[in-house]
Chain A
């Protein structure tokens, strides 16, 4: 169980958080304009990288805020946390 530095609350145990999968997948602004394949790309396709991954996390049992996190899935090292809307750091 790792320790996550919530950008709003500070360091808390992982058990307070839930993971929302890959980050920076923006919901298309005009879904009706998309082909089935383009829509399916948004809807279903997610990366599952062994290594550095950008993820969405929610401080579900805390401030309930969503934020982004850069985590190395091979060793759980957390490289950065940042608020929604902030620019992703270069890792």
Chain B
């Protein structure tokens, strides 16, 4: 045993040594230790430097509220993890931990100079100082501040661990495995309710499990022994799931809760064996019982942050649970009875202990117990200063004045190596408020307690403000029975003896002889904000608690102010002269403790991150060297490079081939909606801008769909397959939204229409063959079919058979070339495609991708919804007046086309742009101006599509320009970073204006 490991307990197995390193040095602890208890057993308190002043800081608590002992775990590039609390890490063989926020080392930190100049770094210092000169921010201030700020190092490699999600439903969820949680879970499970009990530690029992003080007795047994028996009874129950190492992250409405289970974090690296690291539980519970406990408060006095200053109950836990003494010469500084339990424990282990109490007296059993043991108590006293740089060495105390607002008498110095502090207890109301619950302020002991209103959850134990053992046990039994509507709880006749606190006193900021501006009374230890920072914020005019919090950063560190929020509120209330209850609290947001990104995303990483949709022809594209582009979730061939062609070279070749001979495109991804019903024609009349009633069976028509605001929403060709049967195509990316929109109108506005919509996008594969030789290829594929213009004209459709497979052939064109689209059931898509390629071989049929498709249609001035439009373009803006029916009484968006705003003549309108230098290709998105010298420069439009056309041998572009309709021939400019490009507005149909090639 080391000097500080003075006690044997049942929780730490001192026969099993575990070695670990901290800041590169090797130490030993035992199985059952946390990193914090193991460090303390080696006499190490100094574990980090504070955030702003780089002051030495030590372990301060034993749980998730820890503000100082924040470590970096592991040193490899993929598994390293920053901001882990040493108080929560279970020790394992080979654990590597290091301190954060210090440079060059923990013991000599150059940032410590901040501590010396701290009078010059008040709250808001960064906001006030680094404002000017403005240019300094990005290159000088920000990198410097970031380098000296200690937030640990992120891993640089992908996380190799496995994370998991699990959905669970239950009747009762109990949050917290302390005494009240155990009583609750037992009552619920024994009454045949499916119950889950979650506990963030590895062992159930909370603080009662190591409460061996003789003043706390249940049914004649010491409370810890009674609880151990209860736990072993509990573990035998069938309909109860107990989840240790599982912490609640969020409590959402309708009793939907997220909890994170640590599965293998406590195992040595070589024993994980590919195990899941963490599992996120998504629990929907009929009833929730919150038994989250309470957190001990610190006291706020000058230099209250030195290593060796530890919360009193944590000192007791290190002693009675881990067997570690945090010091050999202890002083306890308290305002309440609970710290006396720590004093008695220390005394009984033979460790020197004295008590400083701000109260004038207390006559409870536990205080009597301490007095009987002969422990020295300084009543009505406060600590005014502490000494010792890297570890506390001594304190100075003074008497308090009658009203507690000042100090009197002489300073009295006492030597010590550990100062245990206790400022009372704060109920953990985070879960309650996350679920929407409200709080009441209880004046007598200055705590916020839950207001019980919900039918679906209750709070029991100390998180409900019940701090004494007897009321915890009895109230929990009573409340749970009532909540679950149970008559017999099993704890009805229980007898509980405990010490009862009668004297209460609280001073949020303890008085001192020296002026406040010269003290450092820390409130938020992690973010280094002090009492004087809060007072400064108030003086500077901040009133709202939320503003003071953000200005001083109190409560905004990784511990989310678990230790600091109450004192900040208290000091604000005292300074501003308002009551705490009216001040309210800041909002407690999930997660309660930090969650890893891994736990949040679970298995949805890598190829499971998002759905990938592939056409049935995808394999062929891969084999033929296609480069792909993502269109929505679809993988579409972008271009097919040959012999190391780049994008430009491949697209030029493909575009030329499609116009000179034949090209083939996989058009399977276009959205396809099957529309049937006796009102199908009327329905199309209402959703498209043009008229549909007279479209003959077997004919196709292009349609433009607007939003109700008159802006272009989608477009595509719809084919009339039968009297009451249409096949609509949509843009690839818009398919799902179009279907939803159409369903919406059908179900809510026009339920009288007899129309049925079915998405058939995935059901059909489409090969689109275009070019002057396409008809010859079709003739080869379908030798029995007449493809003459008379028998099969443009914008019509016919059924056909290929290899016994039924096809639908549409003669439609998005390239301006003679063009056919062959649709087959998806399972035959690849064979159809291969047939087309074989039939086209003699015409050098060229597969082309989306880039060539975009170029070819741009040559023809066909828009792409989403590229040339952006939700602000009407069909009139697009110069597509021809497709807007004047005769139809109504269609979606019609009325909006006559609003004063949509009729403005200076709206951005679609035009063509030609560069004066035909080889200059504009950048898509580039801004357009009419005057170069005028300042400020007025942007009158932007380039939407731009290509080098191999068929015209010049650069072409589509653009939207204010009042562009009337600007044909006008010279404009496209200013770029290094030059201005001269352009001329032109017609946006660049190629084959007469549309002759469609029937070539």
A interface list, Cβ under 8 A from B: 1-3, 13, 20, 26-28, 30-32, 34, 36, 39-40, 43, 56, 58, 60, 64-66, 75-76, 84-85
Residue of A nearest to B899 (CB): A36
Q: Do the beta carbons of B749 and A27 come within 8 Å of each other?
A: yes
Q: Is the Cβ of A66 less than 8 Å from the Cβ of B895?
A: no
Q: Does B740 contact A (CB under 8 A)?
A: yes
A44 to chain B, nearest CB (A): 8
Please indicate the chain A residues that have their CB under 8 angstroms from the CB of B692 in the complex. Answer: none
**Cross-chain contact A85 with B751 (CB below 8 angstroms):** yes
B506 at the interface (CB under 8 A from A): no
Contact indicator per residue, chain B 460-478, by CB within 8 Å of chain A (1) or not (0): 0000000000000000000
Q: Does B159 contact A (CB under 8 A)?
A: no
Tell me if A31 and B895 are in contact (CB < 8 A).
yes
CB of B896 within 8 Å of the partner chain? yes
B254 partner, pick from A2, A27, A30, A31, beta carbons under 8 A: A2
Given known contacts A1-B252, A3-B284, A32 and B889 CB-to-CB distance under 8 angstroms: yes
Partner of B740, one of A39, A58, A75: A58
Q: Across the interface, do B895 and A64 meet the contact criterion of CB distance under 8 Å?
A: no
Contact B252 A36 (CB under 8 A): no
Verify B253–A75 contact, CB threshold 8 A. yes
Using C-beta atoms within 8 Å of the partner chain, give the interface range for chain B: 20 to 34
Given the contacts A3-B284, A36-B900, A58-B744, A43 and B254 also touching, CB distance less than 8 Å = no
Chain A residues near B740 (CB-CB < 8 A) = 58, 60
For B901, give the chain A residue with the smallest CB separation: A36
Question: How long is the Cα–Cα vector from A40 to B740 in the complex, in angstroms?
Answer: 23
Interface: B604 (CB within 8 A): no
Q: A39 and B743 in contact (CB under 8 A), knowing A1-B253, A56-B748? A: no
5 contacting pairs across A/B (C-beta < 8 A): A1-B252, A30-B890, A32-B890, A39-B895, A39-B899
Indicate if the CB atoms of A43 and B709 lie closer than 8 Å.
yes
Say how far A16's CB is from chain B's closest CB, in angstroms. Answer: 13
B230 is an interface residue with CB less than 8 A from chain A: no
Contacts from B to A (Cβ < 8 Å): 252-254, 256, 284, 436, 708-709, 740, 743-744, 747-749, 751, 889-890, 894-896, 898-900
- C-alpha spacing A84/B751, complex, angstroms: 9
In the complex, what distance in Å separates the CA atom of A74 from the CA atom of B627? 50
Q: A66–B740 Cα gap in the complex (Å)?
A: 10
Shortest Cβ distance from A68 into B: residue? B748
Compute how far the CA of A84 lies from the CA of B399 in the bound complex, rounded to whole angstroms.
74
* Distance of A21 Cα from B45 Cα, bound (Å): 57
**A43 lies within 8 A of B708 (CB):** yes
Q: Is the CB of B253 within 8 A of A66?
A: no
* A64 contacts B743, C-beta separation under 8 Å: yes
The answer on a CB contact under 8 Å between A43 and B896 is yes
Asked whether A20 and B744 contact (CB < 8 A) given A32-B889, A39-B899, A40-B899, the answer is yes
- Is A66 in contact with B747, judged by CB distance below 8 angstroms? yes
Pairwise interchain contact A1-B254, C-beta atoms closer than 8 A: yes
Query: Are A76 and B709 closer than 8 Å at their CB atoms?
Result: no
Quick one: closest A residue to B252, CB to CB? A1
Q: Please state if A32 and B744 are interface contacts (CB–CB under 8 Å).
A: no
**A37 CA to B749 CA, complexed, in Å:** 21
What is the bound-complex CA distance between A66 and B742, given in angstroms? 12
A78 to B: closest C-beta gap in Å:
9
18 extra interface residue pairs, beta carbon distance < 8 Å, beyond A39-B895, A84-B747: A1-B253, A1-B256, A2-B256, A3-B284, A20-B744, A27-B708, A27-B749, A32-B889, A32-B890, A36-B899, A43-B708, A43-B709, A43-B896, A56-B748, A58-B740, A60-B740, A76-B254, A76-B436
With beta carbons under 8 angstroms apart, the residue of A1, A13, A43, A84 that contacts B748 is A84
Q: List the 3 closest pairs (A to B, CB-CB), nearest first.
A: A31-B895, A2-B254, A66-B747
A76 and B744 form a contact (CB under 8 A): no
Closest beta carbon of chain B to A59's beta carbon, Å: 11
Q: Across the interface, name the chain B residue whose C-beta is closest to A85.
A: B751
Q: Are B890 and A31 in contact (CB under 8 A)?
A: yes
Whole-angstrom distance between the alpha carbons of A66 and B749 in the complex?
11
In the bound assembly, the distance between CA atoms of A13 and B283 in angstroms comes to: 12
Which residues of the other chain, B, contact A3 by a CB distance below 8 angstroms? 254, 284
Least CB distance, A18 to chain B, in whole angstroms? 8
Cα distance A2–B749 in the bound complex, in angstroms: 27
The residue in chain A whose Cβ has the minimal distance to the Cβ of B710 is A43
Contact of A2 among B253, B747, B751, B894 (CB under 8 A): B253
A82 CB → nearest B CB, Å: 13
Question: What distance in Å separates the Cβ of A88 from its nearest Cβ neighbour in chain B?
Answer: 14
Cross-chain contact of A76 among B253, B896, B898 (Cβ < 8 A)? B253
> In the bound complex, how far is the Cα of B433 from the Cα of A75, in angstroms?
12
In the complex, what's the smallest C-beta–C-beta distance from A89 to chain B, in angstroms?
Answer: 18
Instruction: Tell me the bound Cα distance from A76 to B254 in angstroms.
Output: 9
User: Are A65 and B254 in touch, CB under 8 angstroms?
Assistant: no
- B453 nearest in chain A by CB position: A75
Complex CA distance for A40 and B898, rounded to whole angstroms: 12
A85 to B896, CA, bound (A): 26
User: Cβ of A20: which chain B residues have Cβ within 8 Å of it?
Assistant: 744
Give Cα A26–Cα B899 distance, bound, in whole angstroms: 20
